[in-house]
Structure 1
Amino acid sequence: MYFLQNTSVFAGFRCRSKLLLSVYQVVVGFSVIYI
C-alpha cells in the first residue's frame, strides 16, 4: 500500500514537472519572440 501511494505521488510529481517544463518553454519562446 505504501509503495503504491509512493509511486502515485512520484507520478504526480513527474506530471507536474513536465507541465512546469512546458510552461517554461512557452515563456522562453515568447521572450525570444518579444526580444
Structure 2
Amino acid sequence: MGRKRRQKQNPKKSLSPFEGVEGKLQQAISLY
C-alpha cells in the first residue's frame, strides 16, 4: 500500500489514466 500512497502524492507520475481511477475506487472502498 505504501507504493499506492506515493502515487497519490504524485499523480503526474501515473502514466496510465487507469491508475487514477483505481486510486479513486480504493478510496471509496476505504470509506466503507
TM-score when normalising by structure 1: 0.46
Structure possessing the higher radius of gyration over alpha carbons:
1
With CA pairs under 8 Å and 6+ residues apart, which has the higher RCO, 1 or 2?
A: 2
Structure with greater helix percent? 1
